[in-house]
Structure 1
Amino acid sequence: EEEFANNLFGLVRGCLTNSRGRKVSMNETASFCLHFLKKGIDELSEVTFDRSTKVIDVFNRTVIREEAFVSRDEIRERIDIPSAYYIRRGYQKETLQKFDVGECLAENQPMSGRVVVPVYDEGYNYVGCVGRSIKEHLKPKWLHSRGFKKNVLYGLNIAKDKILETNTAILVEGQGDTWRMHEAGYTNTVGIFGSSINEDQLILLEQSGALNLIILTDSDEAGNKAYEQIVKKCGRRFNYFRPEISQKDVGDMDIVQIQEQLNPQLQGILNDK
């Protein structure tokens, strides 16, 4: 690892990977260290890898967020789910229900006249929302709720079990891409809110149990640069795969197209378990 390569934690992970004949995750390495040291996580504050890095600092890497001020039930009560706009765009009602995608029909609200896409963290705590204008005169086209921070992976609350089961996460840029991939059966897909990932999102990927990243950023020059940024940011933590698709992004494809194009390319990766 870039930050762990020169200390004991990185050495332990490398040895485990070599002895087990497969890439070992951060979580597996953490469990091994705890078992070997015969210590609980709360006992590690004085144990260090080297002069500067405490073991507890590696185990306790977390994403800092403000406490949720509204529940999921309250969010669902405030908007009309499923979104009629996205049903007309070809998305399934069940998908929009699963992701709580609806429309704000009330007047004089920050998201009035918009599709509302609630964003939850991995524990279903509400962290903000993204609004999409459904009226020509309403600008900007996309509007984030006040204080929204890109310190989550969109859909991780839904995808986390499948990611852990397959040791594989599929990364796409937007929310619509995420929905379409789930409709096509790739329920280990999460969105990164654009064309790059940040440190908080990297921590979430580390903690998800993923060993493989399938990167489906847009199939254009910007998307290729996004792929390069993700690989550079994540370093040697994961194995990387960049499938080819016929459209600019998976949101522009239908379910059959996605399955026909991706299944042959991903079969070995997702079926290794």
Structure 2
Amino acid sequence: MHGKVYLVGAGPGDPELLTLRALYLLQHADAVVYDRLVSRAIMSCINPEATLYDVGKVAACKPSMQDDINDILLSLSRTHQRVIRLKGGDPFIFGRGGEEQLYLQQHGVRAEVVPGITAATGCAASLGIPLTHRGLASSVRFITGHLRDNQGLELNWASLSDPTCTLVFYMAMANCRHIAQALIQHGRSPHTPIALAQDATLKSQRWGLGTLQTLPQLAQTFSPPALLIIGQVVQLHPDYPQPTSNTQDALTPESSWALM
């Protein structure tokens, strides 16, 4: 008889942001298959008697790696009662949780999804940046910044030009220059405020503020993984220089960035 697999979101890193359900499962796990984005603080919450499997994926990993992870989960479900697939953020937001759920279902294994606070909301909250705000942003989009087959980002850039939509790019560090150029080319103001954040919600958190046209320069001072927030809401960060007139584009790119 198969055990049960739980696709658990570890949240953005701070263990206090785990859901109660996630914490309970970690404390009672028989086996845990985890990614590299899971913080050490979260790992310390795991049942010390559980068997751990590090399947940490990195950028440009081989496509076959996900197949290997699927096989590991299936195999463990045959030998353990409570198998945890632990992912940073939320399993269903750029976490490939849907693929793992489908694979397990196809092989007759029960899977339960335990949502987690995704990096975008965790990061924005830690920086005091609302992703939507009356008069500035009426919508928000979560976007992967990964290249596909080294052919460039396959995005509808024109659809991302709406200045009332906040954009949050995951895994975008290698492509910040391309992102900035494409957005400006398709209508976003070069003075659109941006924020970069690394290790969001953790004591090691580091962040920077700027504009679309200063993004490539700012990105050089960060290392992945980092999150990119683009939109007028970024100017609500307490350290963001305020415009000197009622025009949104009054922000000057030379003076509108800071590091912390």
TM-score, with structure 2 as normaliser: 0.31
Higher RCO (CA 8 Å, separation ≥ 6 residues): 2
- Structure with more of its chain in strand, by fraction: 2
TM-score normalized with structure 1 length: 0.30
